[in-house]
Amino acid sequence: MGEAVSDFNQQALSLTQARQAGGVYQAINQLGASAFETMPFPTRKTESWKYTSLHALTQQNYNQSPKAVLLDGIDAQYEVSGLEVVNLVFVNGQFQAALSSNETLAGLQLVRFSEATSEQLALIEKHLGKLAETERNLFTALNNAQVNDGVFVFVDKNTQLAKPIQITNISIKDEQPATAFNRCLIVLDTHAQATVIEQFVSSDTEQNVVMNQVTEAVIGDGAHLQHYRLNKEHESSIHFGGMYVDLSRDSQFTSYQILLGSKIKRFDVLVNHNVSGSHCEMKGVYLPKNEQQVDIHSYIEHKAPNCTTNEVYRGIMADKSKAVFNGRIHIHPDAQKTLAELSNKNLLLSDKAQINTKPELEIYADDVRCAHGATVAQLNETAKFYLQSRGISAQEADIMLSFGFINELLESIPLEALRVSLRPLLAEQFSSDKSLTQHLIADEAEA
């Protein structure tokens, strides 16, 4: 193991050297690389990686750049029917102009770093890597060390974007194992409002490209970012994701995370309440099955008074899957009148499935209202009997109850077309037999 580990670190560093572009990236690349060099490869003894094995990552040399992309090999579904969006598509980290829309929206600057004007580059340089703290996560450090392109979203002040922006990252099997790096920087000026959907899909075959994606969002005074992170990559994929958010006065961050697929999936989210009056609403669903591992770390930093956080995560673990939920809300001494709630509920469908949940509250202010809690349960037998006593089969009852467990979060999604499209996607996580999921899917249309 020791040898494989040092191999990984050395290979990663030589990859980042090959990708470094200088210019506006020089500082962030250097900081990332030096942070990465000092961080050992995570083992079971590394606290923040205690329950997730990265063994699969050391089995091949993933620290190579993806080769040219064969577009006709793409069979991934990524369009949401009935949802009009400005669509940007990347395949194995490479931008696909032919699959992307070049539509412009009033008040929106949407550009890749490599195409940015000098004015835009100045903004990119100002913000890039400032939130994505390298010391928190090895793979964010790696992303910082090599970043040389990405998507820049800037919304002018007082603008409400007419359509959501949808950034789709598609993975396909490459000629050799590789890592696809993606980066996104979102800046909302004062009182701007935007919806950004970031989704991760892959072709329906064995994958050999690791996805490493980092998003930073700077939300100005009174601005509101509604953000979706939809992970639906193939079961064989490996995914490292990070989302880092700064909230200003009276601003809002609403986040929906649907975390499916991948044999190893790690997602870190950090939200800073920097100025009074900001609100963070975070809803997450994870449904690992078979031998999938999902590892979620959330950090909410209340640094200013009168801010609120409502964080709700629900997970259902099936088969031999493993999940980690580590949620920390940190109330700094100045954060008086904070209202913060964190709830994590879990359902275990198999006695071989595992959840390690650790909700944490750290409070250094005396006038706050905070609550946190986690539960782990199995399906409610009385509810199951009730459904069966009405003629519903045991199998369908299990699926209805499991779906019901996450349905509350699903129903809170404001984008209707997306919500409707997620129902069948989530339903099929519980069974591929459509006769068992038909009532879940029909529901939305009727009610």
Partner 1 sequence: MCKENEFKIVGTGIARKWLNRMLSIKNLHASVEEKEILKGLNIEIKPGEIHAIMGPNGAGKSTLGNVLSGREGYEVTAGDVNFDGKNILDMDTEERAREGLFLAFQYPVEIPGVSNLEFLKASVDAVRAHRGEEPMDSVSFLKLAREKCKAVNLDQNFLKRGVNEGFSGGEKKRNEIMQMMLLEPKLCILDETDSGLDIDALQVVAEGVNSQRDPNRSFIVVTHYQRLLDYIIPDYVHVLADGKIVKSGGKELALELEEKGYGWIENGAV
Judge contact between 298 and 253, C-beta under 8 A.
Answer: no
Query: Does 387 engage in binding with partner 1 (CB under 8 A)?
Result: yes
Rg of the chain in Å (alpha carbons): 21
Pick one of 198, 301, 396, 398: the residue that binds partner 1 (CB under 8 A). Answer: 396
- What's the token pair of residue 304? 């200013």
CB of 401 to partner 1, least distance (A): 7
Pick one of 89, 400, 415, 426: the residue that binds partner 1 (CB under 8 A). Answer: 400
Pick one of 55, 378, 394, 434: the residue that binds partner 1 (CB under 8 A). Answer: 394
Query: Does 390 engage in binding with partner 1 (CB under 8 A)?
Result: yes
Pick one of 407, 419, 425, 431: the residue that binds partner 1 (CB under 8 A). Answer: 407
Judge contact between 239 and 268, C-beta under 8 A.
Answer: no
Q: Which span (175-183, 334-342, 345-353, 380-388) binds partner 1, by CB under 8 A?
A: 380-388
Query: Does 405 engage in binding with partner 1 (CB under 8 A)?
Result: yes
Pick one of 59, 102, 118, 382: the residue that binds partner 1 (CB under 8 A). Answer: 382
Query: Does 389 engage in binding with partner 1 (CB under 8 A)?
Result: yes
CB of 400 to partner 1, least distance (A): 5
Query: Does 439 engage in binding with partner 1 (CB under 8 A)?
Result: yes
Pick one of 83, 89, 167, 440: the residue that binds partner 1 (CB under 8 A). Answer: 440
Alpha-carbon distances, residue 273 vs 221, 248, 297, 312 (angstroms): 12, 7, 17, 18
Q: Which span (122-130, 227-235, 261-269, 400-408) binds partner 1, by CB under 8 A?
A: 400-408
Note the residue count of the chain.
Answer: 447
Pick one of 1, 68, 106, 447: the residue that binds partner 1 (CB under 8 A). Answer: 447
CB of 207 to partner 1, least distance (A): 32
Query: Does 393 engage in binding with partner 1 (CB under 8 A)?
Result: yes
- What's the token pair of residue 179? 């890592």
CB of 288 to partner 1, least distance (A): 19
Judge contact between 231 and 258, C-beta under 8 A.
Answer: yes
CB of 446 to partner 1, least distance (A): 5
Q: Which span (179-187, 207-215, 257-265, 390-398) binds partner 1, by CB under 8 A?
A: 390-398
Query: Does 442 engage in binding with partner 1 (CB under 8 A)?
Result: yes
CB of 287 to partner 1, least distance (A): 14
- What's the token pair of residue 122? 């100045």
Query: Does 163 engage in binding with partner 1 (CB under 8 A)?
Result: no
Q: Which is nearer to partner 1, 15 or 347 (CB)?
A: 347
CB of 312 to partner 1, least distance (A): 13
For residues 269 and 288, give the distance between their C-alpha atoms in angstroms, rounded to a whole number: 19
Pick one of 56, 401, 417, 425: the residue that binds partner 1 (CB under 8 A). Answer: 401
- Residues lying near partner 1 in the complex (CB under 8 A) are found at 380-383, 385-394, 396-397, 400-401, 403-408, 439-440, 442-443, 445-447
